Structure 1
Amino acid sequence: MIYLDHNATTPIDAEVTAAILPYLSHAFGNPSSDHQYGAAPRAALDGARREIATLIGGRDGQIVFTGSGSEADNLAIRGAALAAGIDRPHVVTQVTEHPAVLQTCRALERWHGVDVTYLPVDSSGLVDPGDLEAALSTRTVLVSIMAANNETGALQPIADLARIAQDHDALFHCDAAQQLGKLPFDADALGIDLVTVVGHKMYAPKGIGALYVRSGVRLEPLVHGGGQENGLRAGTENVALAVGLGTAARLASEHLGERPRIQKLRDTLHDRLTEALPGRVLLNGPAGLRLPNTLNISIAGTIGSELLRNAPDIAASTGSACHSGDPEPSPVLSAMGIDRPRALAAIRLSLGRWSTPDDVDTAADQLAGAARNGGS
């Protein structure tokens, strides 16, 4: 099969696997142990933190290892809201965030009396900085806006949004899961206080993530216990996967120069489909301000899930979620004002480190053939 679903998860890089293996065998010690068996794991954790900090530009803060990006989002949002120490704290996010952000905000509303504002997006999926400015108040403790959308690749104006939050003394959290390793990212230069990092989006295993916490930022922990991770995440660290994440971060920095190649492949795929299906291919999301690997399109006259079923050699995602066999439009595309037939026709094609021109040619041929045969 041709794998075009890198925004869902990436294969594990062989260098990452090699880096992990020693910590599953002879370097098995607890990093909190004072004897020699703890020394190597402890040093490995420190090294992994440095590699992650280098990738994200997090010079003025700490890296907290978590079990996933969802956990990192929860720690950032819930942790900041509950540590604020004020009645009815206010949090601002936007409607096309990942469910890990949206569901955390809704839980804070239900269980902790937190006020949450959900900003709208325009037809490209972008937040208007003016809307953020208008939403902020003296009770706003946190703004949480993702760097890049997982479905459309839309890149939010993070520098402007973070500056507005700073001007109102609110913390700024950014889920950077999709951008890291694809485009440069500098948390300190952007003025970001909290950054979510996800291993399986950048060629590391699933089950490992991290949260960058700027120095001086106070968070209420999600997990209490032995005081690991400077008291922010109790539990003996998964050294092997942390090392894998650190190695993946280093490799991501080294591979940033591949952006033009991957973007060219993405655009070639789009062009091939447009030529093969004239008048039927519609781009969802911005043409320019998006991830270089991401192509979200709707092919008129199809249903995305059926189209992919009829192109069995292509591993990709739709823009909709299926419940009990009934397709529903993607909430992201609906929030952008895309109508139901077009949203149901959406497919997301996301390329990666090992995608080739042959992959693109074959994918274009198979998808176009499936669309000509009905795709639904």
Structure 2
Amino acid sequence: MTAPDLNALLADIETLVSCESPSHDHRALAHSAASVAAVGLRLLGVGPEHLVTDGCPHLRWRFGDGPSRVLLLGHHDTVWPVGTLRTHPYSVRDGILRGPGCFDMKAGVVMALHAAAALPDRDGLTILITGDEEIGSPGSRELIEETARGCEAVLVLEASAEGGALKCRRKGVSLYRIEVEGRAAHAGLEPDKGINAGMELAHHVLATAALSDTTRGTTVVPTALTAGTTANTVPATAQLAVDVRAWDRTEQERVDQAVRALRPVLSGARLHIVGGVNRPPLDAAASTDLFALADSLAADLHIEPLSAASVGGASDGNFTAGLGVPTLDGLGAVGGGAHADTEHVVVAELPPRTTLLTALTQTLLARHRPAADTGQRTGHPACGPSATRRASAQERKR
């Protein structure tokens, strides 16, 4: 299998990185979607469906008249605000590519498009690139699940874990906002007439943090909090965001019940709980067979043995795995620094990882295609433990 042209990969990554696309900026996202669509049109010879949910643009390519069998899944939104390019410009130096969103995950989007372009037959392939993943996919979840339902495999182009490991297990995510209603009063003249929403909130910061369970790997982290309006006023309102990560649904349900059972501590205060389970866990079982096949193909392509990682971060692959669809994540760029000033991509890894993605997609598409249509067979049987050339490397937590 011929390796993709590195210069072509870099040129397309530069195009996407240079089009800033923070999740909440729909105008910027529209420009970004247009850039992705243009790259895809040039490589694939056909434009995508343009889909919009809640003002946010998503792109989908479907090939063939039959059902979709393999879904390449990614997103074009980033956490970086417009203007970041002025301080973090696109660059390639000493084998390292930098720029806002390069690692998470515009390089992965380009890899998906180039891998699809290299396929001799795309019948049964779908590519879905969403625009709101970084904020929990509020508008695209239904689209993702509708597109993935019935597929035989979902390959997620999120960036790899440390050292290029594939993400074969992810924690589920729950997100909450605790809103407190108190009563304002002058902090110096008559504080006793107020109900301090900030003090009420402090009780719930401690109460939610106590729900963590280190033995089960469950983290419950109070994050953003606000209270009050002026320094000399008893706060009338307060809000707290809570981030929950858990390896299994039982833990998600335990924490959910505990958060919803919170009650006011101060007399007269009122609580409102907003939010809940955002993404189910991506269990290791969802990735086992696909990882074995990818590892076997890597050996055939003379690529270094693959390793598997368990990570606390979630992706849209959690949704597809939650449907029971086999899902393999972390097939995108090798590098590091997601959401940080150190975000980067290792340039030398782009061609082999794209080649592996092409081979994996081609093998999966060929499985149920009539023999006359498969062309040259890959020789790989249905994946499973017997198809594994070597044991997966030890799991590493990012």
* Same fold? TM cut 0.5: no
**TM-score, normalised via structure 1 length:** 0.26
TM-score (norm 2): 0.25
Which has the larger Rg? Answer: 2
Q: Which structure shows the bigger proportion of residues in helix conformation?
A: 1
Q: Greater strand share, 1 or 2?
A: 2
